[in-house]
Structures are given as C-alpha cells and as structure tokens.
C-alpha cells in the first residue's frame, strides 16, 4: 500500500489484499494472505482494530477513522492521531524499554494504520480488575513506566533542542487535546450536552458539585496546567483500559492522546483509575467479598507512587543531563543537598498536581461522556450510584485538599474512609436519596 | 533583494544598492538611493542596526548576524532570530495596538533583515532613567502593553489551534531561549566562565549567594517554569533597554527572544529593571539628589502592576473567549464569583512567579555576562558595589519570599528598606568590605 494512496478504511474482506505485500507483516504471520483470518475487535471509542492471523502467527492492525467511531461521522477526528500514536510508541519503547509497549512492525501514515504485536494471552487491565484479579507485577511495571517515560521525555534528560522539536511535533495533536480539555476538565462541571450520570440517585450530589465554586476554580486551574505545563511527552490517556496484562507482563497501549503536558497528568489518571476500581468493588460483591481486592488496589496505588518516586530519584541522580536543575549549580559545587532539595520540591509539586488530575479524572468518568466499565458493569443502579457517590466525594476532596499539602498516603487513607461511609463532606445527599 | 539570495551582511556602503528596489522602503524615505545617508547605530549585543535617511524620511534597517556581535564568530547564533522578531512584532502590534511597537515596513527572511519605523526623538528608556528623567506615560503604557500582549497571546483568548500552532512556530527559537536558560537562570549561581562582578567588593556576598541552597533551588525551579510553562507569547527580553520613549510615546522593541513562556516572565523582567534603576540611583547622585527619582521609580513599579491587573481583569471579563477558565462553568451558570475567584488565583500566581523572575533578572545583571548601564555607568566602584549589593540582597529576598505570599507592595517596601540600608539578610559582608 503506497503512502500516496488516499485513505480508505480497511474491512475484514479487503485487509488481506491491501496488506498482503507489507513485508513487515508477512514475514511475521505468513506470506499467503489468502489464508489469513481477520477479526475486528475494536471495542474502543475511536478506531478500527483487527487481529490478523496467518500460518506463522498473528498481528494487530490498528487503523484510525476520520471520525469518532463511538459517535459517527458527525464528530470528525483527524487521521493524524495515528501519526502521534506511532511517534509516542516509538519514544515510549526507547524510554521505558522494549516490552513495555507493543512492538511496532509497520506504520503507514496516509492510511493512518499501525501494524503491531498481537499481545496474547494479555487482557485489558480494567477487565482483570473488574473480574477480581490481582496481576502481581502491575504496580512495579507501571511505576517504572511512568517514571522512565516522564523523566526521559523532559528537559531533565533531553537536549533543549530535542525536547522543543518534539514539543512542536506533538503541538499539532490539537483535536485529541481538545477532547481532554473539554470532556475531562470542563463538561463534568456544568450541564454539558454529552454528559450523563446515574440518575436520579446522583442528581443532588451533582448539582451540589456544579455549584461548588472552589471545586470548579480548581478544576479550571488544573485545565490550565494541562494545557500549558509542557514538561514532558505524556501518554495522555493512561487509564486501566490502556494497559494489557498477564501475570508476568504489562504493556501500555493506545497513546494517541500523547502531547507535551505536565508530568503529573499520566500518574494522576493512572491513580484515578485504580481508585475507581477500588470504589467500584462493593458493586461487584455478589459473588463474594472483594475486601482483599480492595486492600490490594490501595496497595497498588501506594506501590506505584513509591516505585515512581524511587525510580525518578534514581534517574535524577544518574541521568539528569538536560538543562533543568543543572548539576553545575549543585553537585558540581559539592551541593548535593541542593540537588536533593530541588528533587523533593519537584516531586512534591507533582504529588499535588497528580492528586488534582486524579480527582478530575474520577469526576469525568462518572459525570461526563466516557464512563468506565468498573462502574457501568454494576447492574443494580442503586448499588452503582452508591459506589459512584463515594468516588465523586473522594475526588472532590482530593482536588480541594491537594494544594494544602495532602499527600498520596493521606489520599489513600481518605479513600478507605470514604469507602467505609465516612465521607469527607458535610453532606451526603448524593447517595442517600 | 530576492529571498533566494544567500545571506550577506549589509554594510554602510552596500545597503543603498541592496535595498534601493524595496518599495516598502523607497516609498517612505525616497526612491533615489544614491542620496541615502546610512549610519550604523547598533549598540546592542547581537545585531546590525542602520538608520537610513533619504529625501523623504528615514527608516531603521535591522539585520541579524550569524553570530553574537558582542563576542564574535566564535559564538554562532542563528539568523532565524530575525524571523521570530518579525513574527513577534506583528503579533504584539495586533495585540497591544498600532504605535506600541515600531511599524514594520518589510521583512526579508533569507537576509534576516527587518525594515522598520525610525523612532525619533525617542531615546532608550534605560538611558532616560540613568539621566534622571521621568517619562510620564511609561507606567501606564507598559502596564497596558504587558496585559494585552500576555492575555491575548494565551489560551484565555486564542483558539486552541491558534495558540498551539504559534507555540510550535516559536518552539524553534531554541538558541535564544538557551541564552536565557543559561545566562539568566544558571550562570549567576556558580562560577561560570562568562560571569563577572564588581570585585573584590562583592566577592563575599557572591560566595554567600552561591552557597545559598534555598536560593539556588528556587532559581532552578524558576528556570523550570521558564522552560515549560508555555502560557503565552512573551517578549522574552523586556528590560528598559528594549523600550524607547519620549514624554508622549512608548515603544517596545527587539522581541527576538520571543517564545511561549510564563505570563509572569515579561512582567518580572520589566520590574527587575526598574528596581535596578532604583538601586543604581544613589550612584548617580554626584550632580544632585535622586530622591525624587527613586520615589518616582517605585511609583512606576506600583503603577505598572496596578495597570496590568486592571487591564488584565478588563480583558478577563470582556475577551475571555479561549478555552481556559470556561465561561460555561462560571458566568453561564450565574457563577460570577467563581470567575472572579479564578482570576484572583491566576493573578496571585503571576505575582509570585513575577517576583521570582524579577529577582533572578537582577542577580544575572550584576553577576552574569550582560550587565546594565544603570550600574556600569557608576564610575566609583565602591559606590557601584554598594548599589549592587543592596540590589542583590533585595533580589535574594524576593526570590525566597515570593512563594510565601509576598506581594508586589511588600517587595516595594522591602526595596525602600534595602536602599536605606535596612537589609533583609543577617549578614551584609558583601558590601561592607
């Protein structure tokens, strides 16, 4: 398929003919494309995803569509997101290591398609968590992934020119950033058209939140950070649905929202999705207690943060070769204390921002357009609403308290309290109706 | 001169022949280029600047050189800075109004030259201040200039795509940002090769500063903000040498350091240069007291900030059509209080950052490579050192205290105290030797 050809969406029928001459694919799955089996498995909101199986093996073909798949052609979305996904995957693999993202076999910019490794027997982490599974390596793997990608994509590590060129490259990812800017940071805080929430159970709480001035100001301040704090190449959509796992392996997928943003954004979104899993567990207890799963999830959150900090600190000392926090004014003068103080300041700022981003992510997954299966799969709406209300109130509290030096550990304690019905706000109208 | 021609530096002799067919120039100063008078007046560190006078009038021709003029060919610097200067001037004129920057007649990218309005009888503001003049309009003009350029170049006003495209365009201004990143934020805080300071008078104080861990951490944190807080198109070099004045007119020139950075940077650098003028005044008192000038300078600082705030607030209410601090969650819900609270938060954050940037700018102008005539013109080195020491200690104090809610008014009071010999630090070794 030549790059000059106009974009055409693949179908199960046309795929073998159209990709049958791509060596990067045929060399892996087999040359005889007439024998290929093609299955469309895209369950996401945006793209086509095919599993293509030949005599020798299988691969994934992911193709962007010029609109949002979930909504249809009325919501156009540029094919170029595939370009950003490809470039982000390449950088993430270089920064976090081979085997942290799917291997890339082929990229066709004009057709907006990426041929990549078929991960098996991996499943989506969100599904694993809903099923009550506890993949043992995820906290460590994810902590390392975020520390390495965020550190190595920043001015702490890159050359000034390198980072600025990348910043300019990804600055063109306007439409996907726009989705986050509006759907994540704005829509949940007023009656936006695309919103939905569990009603009427949450109505009163939602109304309360939308008239909570301090909360809205904080959410908008976080949007300001998101849009302007161009620290590093972030994944941009790092929730548990963007992670595939086995007991032995963890892969981060789908970085099409990648852009230069705040370091704390990926970490915050990740934490938020573990917290949402935590708050959803009581809704999944029909087949037995999820107490152990709940404990484990809070432990994962603590371990991710701890792993992140330790690895970030290691990189700070061993790979801080960029222009920020110059060694010339610290270590080179024998001022190791200065270097450590600067690191502590930076991490403490990240902790603050991270809690804020986590809170906003929780809000938007319960009040906005894109909901999480963690809650959605709870069939009993009263039970779901109770879980959601606890999560919403927890989220409000961490957003408000983040700037008053709440620590991640405080937040974990608070999550436990909220889940046990000891809510942080003086009113619990939201879930008692 | 065709754009395709290879770059060639202009000389007094070649300029008329080379620019004699540029209509934008000849229509203003006269077609008969053989009668043009050409004078080279570049007193800056980087570029060639010619005044070209013909039968009908005069114009400025500014041409970049592929190296730092002050240093020579051993320090190469890309011609492209002329491109950034041109694009910044166009945006500043659109945002702050015709007559706030020199009018642009012609831009030749390949020759890195800009033909622009000859400002007369304007003089450089720094020179006016050294001479003890008090141009009456500057505080108001400069307050409006920064408010309008900073607000209208940000996501508060621009479309998301518009700002991101501009961010990408200016991200290529790497080398000039690099100068600021190193010369402003790093070099002053260790014994960098290019540094110089009034010695031996300041030696002890300088040593004290370079072992002041908290100060260095703050300076590096400010560098981090400078490099990553991509809020708006800043001028990037807004000192009193980049401003030309008469009693009736104020023009901002030389924006070749323009890039997407923190709103507070331009304001901080501007304030720093007025504070340096303030602290230098005692060194210029041989011909009479400068007490009135000192009072006036502090008044200018207060008035710039007040004008900035009032204008920024006006724009917030009347032109906030960008994606930040969406009206949809505030005014559209009748929550005007939320909008005001968000504005107060934003301005208060700018005030903090501004004081930090101001402090760093003062330090680097006394300890780094590029010094200010305000101090340099004080011939008596003891007197100069005394002025500089007061400024240095003031600057350290505002850097450290900015994050503890020091206000601009507090800083102005502190400046008065420092200038009167009531220093903020427990040691004054620096200037008593």
* φ, ψ at B246 (rounded to 5°): -125, -175
> From its phi and psi, is residue A72 left (phi > 0), alpha (psi between -120 and 50) or beta?
left
Q: Which residue of A has its CA nearest to B336?
A: A213
What is the C-alpha separation between B34 and B55, in angstroms, rounded? Answer: 10
pLDDT of residue B4: 57
pLDDT of residue B433: 30
Complete DSSP assignment for B287-309: GS--HHHHHHHHHHHHHHHHHHH
Contact A229 B228 (CB under 8 A): yes
- Across the interface, which of A160, A227, A330 has its CB nearest the CB of B216? A330
| Encoded tokens for A108 | 């066709």
Q: Which of B208, B270, B194 is nearest to B234 (CA)?
A: B270
| Consecutive H or E run containing A97 | none
Which residues of chain A neighbour B210 with C-beta distances below 8 Å?
329, 333
Instruction: Choose the mutation target among B228, B323, B368 for the interface with A, i.e. most A CBs under 10 Å.
Output: B228
Helix ranges (H only) for A57-200 are 81-96, 125-130, 138-152, 160-170, 174-179
B173 contacts: CB under 8 Å, gap ≥ 6: B80, B81, B84, B257, B258, B259
- Across the interface, which of A186, A227, A229 has its CB nearest the CB of B328? A186
Chain B: closest CA distance from residue A382 (Å): 28
B429 has pLDDT over 70: no
Buried b (16+ CB within 10 A) or exposed e, B265-299: bbbbbbbbbbbbbbbbbbbbeeeeebeebbebbbe
Rg (CA), chain B: 22
What is the C-alpha separation between B228 and A146, in angstroms, rounded? Answer: 19
| Encoded tokens for B393 | 């200690």
Q: Provide the pairing of β-strand B243-245 with B123-124.
A: antiparallel
Complete DSSP assignment for B375-400: HHT--SHHHHHHHHHHHHHHHHHHHH
Helices and strands (DSSP H and E) totals, chain B: 16, 12
pLDDT of residue A227: 97
What is the C-alpha separation between A144 and A134, in angstroms, rounded? Answer: 18
Which residues of chain A neighbour B328 with C-beta distances below 8 Å?
186, 190, 192
Chain B: closest CA distance from residue A123 (Å): 36
Q: Which residue of B has its CA nearest to A225?
A: B229
pLDDT of residue B431: 37
Q: Which of B348, B325, B312, B304 is nearest to B95 (CA)?
A: B312
Complete DSSP assignment for A380-423: -HHHHHHHHHHHHHHHHHHHHHHTTT--HHHHHHHHHHHHTT--
| Encoded tokens for B103 | 């009018």
Contact A231 B228 (CB under 8 A): yes
B54 contacts: CB under 8 Å, gap ≥ 6: B26, B29, B30, B31, B32, B33, B35, B36, B37
Chain B: closest CA distance from residue A29 (Å): 40
pLDDT of residue B427: 42
Is the Cβ–Cβ distance between B61 and B52 less than 8 Å?
yes
Is the Cβ–Cβ distance between B301 and B412 less than 8 Å?
yes
- Across the interface, which of B155, B171, B190 has its CB nearest the CB of A328? B190
Instruction: Using the Cα atoms of residue B32, residue B33, residue B34 and residue B39 in order, give the sign of their dihedral.
Output: positive
| Encoded tokens for B265 | 């940077």
- Across the interface, which of A214, A220, A325 has its CB nearest the CB of B329? A220
| Consecutive H or E run containing A361 | helix A336-367
CA distances from B332 to A14, A125, A178, A210, B338 (A): 49, 39, 20, 12, 11
Contact A342 B221 (CB under 8 A): yes
What is the C-alpha separation between A223 and A217, in angstroms, rounded? Answer: 10
- pLDDT, average across residues B215-220: 97
- Residue A69 DSSP one-character state: T
- Across the interface, which of B211, B228, B346 has its CB nearest the CB of A230? B228
A294 contacts: CB under 8 Å, gap ≥ 6: A278, A281, A419
Residue linked to tokens 């190296």 = B67
Contact A333 B210 (CB under 8 A): yes
What is the C-alpha separation between A73 and A166, in angstroms, rounded? Answer: 30
Contact A341 B217 (CB under 8 A): yes
CA distances from B138 to B76, B124, B132, B272 (A): 35, 12, 14, 15
What is the C-alpha separation between B286 and B277, in angstroms, rounded? Answer: 16
In a structure prediction context, what are the per-residue pLDDT tens digits for chain A, which is 433 residues long? 444 579 999 999 999 999 999 999 999 999 999 999 999 998 767 899 999 999 999 999 999 999 988 788 898 999 999 999 999 999 999 999 999 999 999 999 999 999 999 999 999 999 999 999 999 999 999 999 999 999 999 999 999 999 999 999 999 999 999 999 999 999 999 999 999 999 999 999 999 999 999 999 999 999 999 999 999 999 999 999 999 999 999 999 999 999 999 999 999 999 999 999 999 999 999 889 999 999 999 999 999 999 999 999 999 999 999 999 999 999 999 999 999 999 999 999 999 999 999 999 999 999 999 999 999 999 999 999 999 999 999 999 999 999 898 999 999 999 999 999 887 754 444 333 3
Which residues of chain B neighbour A363 with C-beta distances below 8 Å?
none
CA angle B367, B370, B371 (to 5 degrees): 65
Contact A341 B178 (CB under 8 A): no
Residue linked to tokens 């621009």 = B158
CB count within 10 Å of CB A68 equals: 17
What is chain B's length?
Answer: 433
Q: ipTM score of the complex?
A: 0.94
Is the Cβ–Cβ distance between B244 and B120 less than 8 Å?
no
pLDDT of residue A4: 57
What is the C-alpha separation between B293 and B133, in angstroms, rounded? Answer: 8
B355 contacts: CB under 8 Å, gap ≥ 6: B268, B271, B398, B399, B401, B402, B406, B408, B411
- Across the interface, which of B186, B328, B345 has its CB nearest the CB of A329? B186
* Burial of A260: CB neighbours in 10 Å, binned 0-12, 13-18, 19+: buried
What is the C-alpha separation between A114 and A93, in angstroms, rounded? Answer: 15
Is the Cβ–Cβ distance between A359 and A387 less than 8 Å?
no
Q: Coil, strand, or helix at residue B105?
A: strand
Task: Give the tens place of pLDDT for each residue, B66-108.
Answer: 998 878 889 899 999 999 999 999 999 999 999 999 999 999 9
What is the C-alpha separation between B255 and B269, in angstroms, rounded? Answer: 13
Contact B227 A189 (CB under 8 A): no
Task: Give the tens place of pLDDT for each residue, B227-267.
Answer: 999 999 999 999 999 999 999 999 999 999 999 999 999 99
What is the C-alpha separation between A329 and B189, in angstroms, rounded? Answer: 6
pLDDT of residue A3: 47
**Bridge partner residues of B229 (DSSP):** A229
3-state secondary structure A225-263: HHHHECCEEECCCCCHHHEEECCCCEEECCCCCCEEECH
A16 contacts: CB under 8 Å, gap ≥ 6: A33, A34, A36, A38, A52
Chain B: closest CA distance from residue A347 (Å): 12
Instruction: State if pTM tops 0.90.
Output: yes
What is the C-alpha separation between A198 and A384, in angstroms, rounded? Answer: 8
Average pLDDT along chain B? 94
Complete DSSP assignment for B256-278: TT-EEE-HHHHHHHHHHHHHHHH
Does the bond joining B200 to the residue before it have cis omega, within 30 degrees of 0? Answer: yes
| Encoded tokens for B149 | 């350029």
* φ, ψ at B336 (rounded to 5°): -65, -30
Q: Which of A241, A232, A254 is nearest to A89 (CA)?
A: A254
Chain A: closest CA distance from residue B166 (Å): 9
B368 has pLDDT over 80: yes
Instruction: Using the Cα atoms of residue A388, residue A393, residue A398 and residue A400 in order, give the sign of their dihedral.
Output: positive
pLDDT of residue A392: 98
């Amino acid at each position: 398929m030549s790059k000059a050809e106009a974009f055409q969406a693949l179908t199960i029928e046309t795929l073998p003919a159209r990709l049958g001459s791509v060596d990067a694919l045929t060399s892996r799955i087999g040359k005889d494309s007439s024998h290929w089996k093609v299955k469309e498995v895209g369950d996401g909101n945006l793209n086509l995803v095919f599993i293509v199986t030949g005599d020798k093996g299988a691969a994934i073909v992911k193709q962007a569509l010029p609109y949002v798949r979930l909504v249809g052609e009325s919501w156009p979305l540029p094919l170029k997101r595939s370009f950003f996904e490809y470039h982000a995957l390449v950088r993430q693999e270089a920064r976090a290591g081979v085997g942290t993202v799917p291997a890339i076999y082929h990229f066709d910019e004009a057709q907006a398609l990426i041929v990549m490794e078929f991960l098996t027997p991996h499943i989506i982490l969100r599904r694993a968590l809903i099923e009550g599974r506890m993949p043992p390596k995820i906290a460590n793997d994810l902590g390392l992934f975020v520390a390495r990608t965020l550190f190595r994509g920043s001015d702490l590590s890159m050359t000034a020119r390198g980072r600025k060129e990348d910043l300019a490259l990804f600055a063109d990812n306007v439409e996907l950033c726009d989705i986050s800017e509006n759907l994540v940071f704005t829509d949940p805080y007023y009656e936006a058209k695309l919103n939905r929430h569990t009603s009427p159970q949450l109505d009163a709480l939602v109304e309360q939140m939308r008239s909570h001035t301090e909360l809205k100001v904080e959410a908008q301040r976080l949007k300001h950070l998101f849009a302007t704090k161009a620290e590093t190449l972030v994944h941009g959509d790092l929730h548990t649905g963007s992670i595939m796992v086995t007991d032995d392996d963890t892969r981060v997928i789908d970085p099409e929202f990648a852009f230069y943003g705040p370091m704390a954004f990926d970490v915050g979104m990740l934490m938020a999705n573990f917290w949402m899993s935590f708050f959803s567990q009581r809704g999944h207890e029909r087949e037995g207690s999820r107490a152990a799963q709940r404990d484990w999830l809070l432990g994962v959150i603590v371990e991710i943060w701890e792993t992140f900090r330790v690895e970030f600190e290691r990189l700070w000392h061993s790979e801080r070769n960029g222009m920020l926090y110059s060694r010339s004014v610290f270590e080179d003068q024998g001022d190791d204390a200065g270097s450590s103080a600067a690191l502590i300041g930076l991490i403490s700022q990240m902790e603050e921002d991270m809690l804020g981003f986590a809170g906003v992510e929780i809000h938007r997954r319960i009040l906005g357009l894109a909901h999480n299966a963690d809650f959605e799969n709870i069939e009993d709406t009263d039970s779901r609403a109770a879980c959601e209300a606890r999560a919403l109130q927890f989220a409000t509290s961490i957003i408000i308290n983040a700037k008053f030096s709440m620590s991640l550990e405080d937040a974990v304690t608070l999550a436990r309290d909220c889940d046990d019905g000891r809510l942080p706000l003086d009113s619990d109208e939201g879930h008692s109706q």
